Structure 1
Amino acid sequence: MRWLQVAIATVLFTSLQTGLFVRPDVGHRRPRTPCRAGDTLLDWIREGGGDGTVKRDVDARGLRGLVITKPARAGDILLEVPLGLTLADGCEGPSEGAVAAGPPWSKQLPWNVQLALGVLARRKEPDWSLFLDSWPAAPILPKDMEDEDLEEAQDEDFEVKAGGTLFWLEERYEDALAAWEDAEAADPKVFWSEEEFRWAMAHVWSRCCRLDLGELGGIRRLLIPLLDMGNHDSEPSAVFDLGRSGRAVCLSATRDLQEGDPVTYSYGEHPNEHFALYYGFVPESNPYDHVKVSLTKVLQCLTLAGFPGAGDWQAARMEEVVRSGVAANSLPLRARSPPLGLLQALFALLPEASEATVLRAVAVACQCLEAEHPTTLKEDQAILDSPSSTLADGVLLLVKLRLERKKLLCGLSQTLQDLAKVFEESPEQAQAQLQELLASAQPEAEDAAMT
């Protein structure tokens, strides 16, 4: 039964996306000579016509990533990498653009598979070894965890998605092997192992950036040396884009920075679930995170909690709500705001509903959803804070994921209860606050992933 769920889950995934952005020019040059012993990645970039004032180090937060080596002002270029030093998806492209990584026989395969195969083909090439050898160990992803460990997420839907990711990978490996065999390709002489393929895919998922190269290839996914060491932040200290010359990727400061400050950029507007599945970490206070819930589940919660008016849903009103389509949808509960469709449905279903009543109803539903977890928010926090924890890193990732989910539900519940009180005291002020919350709700990012 689980295998069937996993197979069905694979249809949920489309292509991985990350950010874009803007800044000046640099010359272009492809790597021409092998990397020398003692060269740093920045030396290699400079030999290729680029430059930078960043390095990989541990920042003040204790995170390993990019830091700046000298003060910079907002708008300054921190790193510029010629396109000829980047690897792109696809099997062909303009000679002066990014290096199309995919082998010729992989044209019909998904973009991320092309890029992963290109990484494997270049691992031993002197021109690319310094870049590809700079990568740390592949991140621990849920797809590689045992079923028993996945249960620590306390979310059956997430477990199915993790299994679906693994199933998808296995199918794509078989597709790639078949394409190589059908082409009777001379390179490679021996096809890579499934373990090597998973390694490359994990790095492609967690390191590539999406960028519009314009006339040099349109929208492409790139692996960019040194830049790919930067950590994610929803309020980043830098942004990247194609420079004015259109021949280099430029990373520019979004604010004034001091020597040693972390250089971060956004990996994309994704929920925590996406970051856990494809990047192997969970960001804190993610403004794009949400908990999906159905109207049926909310009504069940209100009935179990004995909420006034719950359990006596008028058939006619229920039919009206069903016709509206709200009942069939997964509704995203966000940290600051419930979905408008849920509020409208509860207005229709709860007898003599007021704004305060509806807001309290959603608050109670959030409390019910949080209480369904086997562990509490405080217990999860204690697990993460314990210096003597013996849990594997992958399990701690899932503990962090469920902790952030509970924080979201708890925070939204409190926000709505507070707003309900304001409605009773100052309806006009409360209405303005509610409209502001609804307007600030982040649109759901495309949960891209695979093909």
Structure 2
Amino acid sequence: MKLGLRLLQERAKSDSFWWPYIANLPETFTVPIFFPGEDIKNLQYAPILHQVNKRCRFLLEFEKEVQQKLHTVPLVDHPFYGQDVNSSSLGWAMSAASSRAFRLHGEVPMLLPLIDMCNHSFNPNARIVQERSVNSLDMSVKVLAEKKIKQNEAITLNYGCYPNDFFLLDYGFVITQNPYDQVELSYDGALLDAASMAAGVSSPNFSAPAKWQQDILSQLNLHGEGAVLKVSLGGPDVVDGRLLAALRVLLADDPEAVHKHDLNTLMSLDVQVPLGPTVEASALRTVLALCAIALQHFHTKIMDDQAILGGGPPLITQLAVQFRLQKKFTIVDVMQNISRRIKMLS
């Protein structure tokens, strides 16, 4: 937010050196904090709704804090030259910084005029090179071509290998067929019980694991104090390794067989049937059931979303519907992948 405040300060300064750059920044951004209420609902995905609400609450609270501090500041000392600083302008500043700033070598975020006009691609034709530290007076940043770029071809950079939550929240766009998109789930015994019933897998261990199973779940940080219960489906791993290992362990009834394998083996989908085909098939069927449950959390079907997009909705509605549609496609991709693996076991 420090960078955003500096941006607001320079925008308020009539003779700012950076005014030509600031004047060309978008007046509005397509990030969810600016979505109308109906389009926030259209996202239909609890994790991103939580993040949107969190950011909106922050802006409202920060507005009060800023206005309280500026209330008694004389105009001559006013850091924003008397201009009102409210949640709307703070939201603009935060969005401008998040959508255009770069972190090079893990250092503080910085705005790079012209360079920030490059769009994103997972297969970029250029990359950013920073020469010398930000503390150096002769520090420079360059964009170097990675391949031959044709005339009038867009210069692209890789913003990072992230799910669509990140791109929509910080940049205001959604990537179709994003190989890094994921669907978050909460690791919960009741959810696993429901999934196992739907999959026709009988196991009392999901909600009441044995002591040796609890010990392994603790190592996976899925049990005990301080456990991190967020797991995911999709992305390069297809199934969150911790979730997969937990299912394998909970469906096994031979602790000696389980203890023959390290956690990395139990967490890997590429390691075939570490605990035998019966346990593996049950674990994969449970994953399929979790996918089906995750799909049911959306209020609309894939065909409904495609019909809405085909009707040419407003841009913000299009983004919201495209976001939830890609989440559904991610789940379907996982289901197809897991189904193929189950067939290979039979």
TM category, shorter:
0.7 to 0.9
Q: State the AA in 1 paired with 2:164.
A: N
Q: State the AA in 1 paired with 2:343.
A: K
Separation in 2 of the partners of 1:114 and 1:188? 9
Q: Please give the per-residue CA displacement for 1:316-359, whole angstroms capped at 9, x wherever unaligned.
A: 43883454432551112123421122122112223664223322
Task: Tell me: higher relative CO, structure 1 or 2? Use CA pairs within 8 A at least 6 residues apart.
Answer: 1
Q: State the AA in 2 paired with 1:326.
A: L
TM-score after normalising by structure 1 = 0.61
1:149 matched to 2:25? The reply is: no
Where 1:262 maps in the other structure, the secondary structure is coil
1:163 matched to 2:64? The reply is: no
Higher strand share: 1
Could you say what the CA RMSD is over the residues aligned between the two structures, in angstroms? 2.8
Query: Number of aligned pairs?
Result: 306
Separation in 2 of the partners of 1:320 and 1:407? 33
Separation in 1 of the partners of 2:110 and 2:342? 48
1:404 matched to 2:329? The reply is: no
8 Å Cα contact 2:199-2:288 kept in structure 1: no
8 Å Cα contact 1:295-1:342 kept in structure 2: yes
Q: Which residue of 2 aligns with 1:259?
A: 151
Q: Which residue of 1 aligns with 2:274?
A: none
Q: 1:313 to 1:136 in 2, by over 3 A?
A: closer
Q: Which residue of 1 aligns with 2:117?
A: 229
Q: State the AA in 1 paired with 2:182.
A: H
Identity percentage over the alignment? 25
Question: Gapped runs of 5+ residues in structure 2?
Answer: 254-277
Separation in 2 of the partners of 1:346 and 1:410? 20
Q: Please give the per-residue CA displacement for 1:179-206, whole angstroms capped at 9, x wherever unaligned.
A: 4456652454413342333322221121
Q: Which residue of 2 aligns with 1:356?
A: 281
Q: State the AA in 1 paired with 2:119.
A: N
1:246 Cα deviation from its structure 2 partner? 4.9
Q: 1:186 to 1:292 in 2, by over 3 A?
A: closer
1:278 Cα deviation from its structure 2 partner? 2.0
Where 2:127 maps in the other structure, the secondary structure is strand
1:243-392 mapped onto 2 (5 Å cutoff): 243=131, 246-296=138-188, 298-303=191-196, 305-309=198-202, 313=206, 315-317=208-210, 320-321=213-214, 323-324=218-219, 325-326=221-222, 328=227, 329-336=229-236, 337-350=238-251, 353-384=278-309, 386=310, 388-389=311-312, 391-392=313-314
1:305 Cα deviation from its structure 2 partner? 1.7
1:139 Cα deviation from its structure 2 partner? 1.4
Where 1:242 maps in the other structure, the secondary structure is strand
1:133 Cα deviation from its structure 2 partner? 1.6
Q: 1:309 to 1:246 in 2, by over 3 A?
A: farther
Q: 1:177 to 1:417 in 2, by over 3 A?
A: same
TM-score after normalising by structure 2 = 0.78
Q: State the AA in 1 paired with 2:145.
A: A
Q: 1:288 to 1:377 in 2, by over 3 A?
A: same
8 Å Cα contact 1:152-1:399 kept in structure 2: yes
8 Å Cα contact 1:120-1:200 kept in structure 2: no
Q: Please give the per-residue CA displacement for 1:278-327, whole angstroms capped at 9, x wherever unaligned.
A: 21111123233211112326414414524222567573438834544325
1:165 Cα deviation from its structure 2 partner? 0.8
1:375 Cα deviation from its structure 2 partner? 1.3
Q: 1:358 to 1:188 in 2, by over 3 A?
A: closer
1:111 matched to 2:111? The reply is: no
